[in-house]
Amino acid sequence: MAKYVIKRILLLFFTLFVIMTICFVLIKLLEPNEILDVTQAEREEAIRDALGYNEPILIQYLIYWKNILTRFDFGVSFQIDYLGSVNGIIQDRLLPTILINVYALIFSVPLGILLGIAAALKKNRWQDHTISTLVMLFVSVPSFVYAFVLQYFLGAKLGWLPIQMAPVSQTGGYFTWAMFESMILPILALSFGSIASLARFTRAELAESLTSDYMLLARAKGLTKGQATMRHALKNAMVPILPSIIAMFANILSGSLIIERIFSVPGIGGLYIQSIQELDYNVFMAVTIFYTFIGLAANIIVDLSYGFLDPRIRMGAKK
């Protein structure tokens, strides 16, 4: 197990290095950003010289890595926040992304599992058919479609909720009721797909567990259907379900590019699109690295979680 973990971590950093190298080289082949502020031209030129902008690409790449490894410095922004630290820009955008995704998970995980359990227990009955039909509908529709529908009906037509996320200057902070109210629509837009996926997965796994031989043995020992379901079927069904939930939690930092853009959420997803539109190369590189690392780390966490949830599973074990 230890060898497997070390191997996966080394593979993670190797993959990250390859992606960083490709992105860095491709960005340097583009036209460099022009100096925006004439009054700070000397300061910007000094920063560019320190980052090796007048040197060959290889030297620039070595300086880039040196700054990351020694100071965890991803450079400065030349467009979004003129000469501001990229690290500071990302830190400012993290909290809204985390809050919206955490709220969405808190809402979607219990509801998705409960719907899946209900469908499995009422298999081939009208409850199962109703839930399965709704699940297929919500799984098939992209989240940005829900976003537009929610904005139109709950926001524009009925006026129950704000269409856009409110600026923190108007609400007095991220942990106020006014801010949470403005987050409800993006939370719902992010939740529908997760609820449907979890419900479908839970229903499939639990329905299979309910027809297993160990359930017949449990009933033969005198357990009621409810006791056998809770003690055996549900416990075994959770082994493949929980890693998917762990992956959802591991990915809360990455956010949603489209949803954040639609609802004007000042998060990481919106920052990524903005960096592309405004050709802010340093911000784009930093956010790309951020997304790549989160995705690779989530895959490792999911793989390792199987071994911790079920002792019979040992990753990397020889047959």
Per the CB < 8 A criterion, the answer to whether 257 and 271 are in contact is no
- pTM value > 0.85: no
Is residue 193 pLDDT above 80, yes or no? yes
Q: What is the pLDDT of residue 234?
A: 73
Reduced to 3 states, what is the DSSP secondary structure of residue 312? coil
φ, ψ at 76 (rounded to 5°):
-125, 160
Return all residues near 319 (Cβ < 8 A) that are at least 6 apart. Answer: none
Task: Kindly report, residue by residue over 19-74, the tens digit of the pLDDT.
Answer: 888 888 888 877 666 666 666 677 777 877 887 777 888 888 898 898 888 888 88
Closest CA to 111 of 245, 243, 252, 222: 245
Return all residues near 254 (Cβ < 8 A) that are at least 6 apart. Answer: 97, 268, 269, 290, 291, 294, 295
Task: Kindly report, residue by residue over 77-88, the tens digit of the pLDDT.
Answer: 888 888 788 888
Q: Which of 123-127, 199-203, 237-241 has the lowest mean pLDDT?
A: 237-241
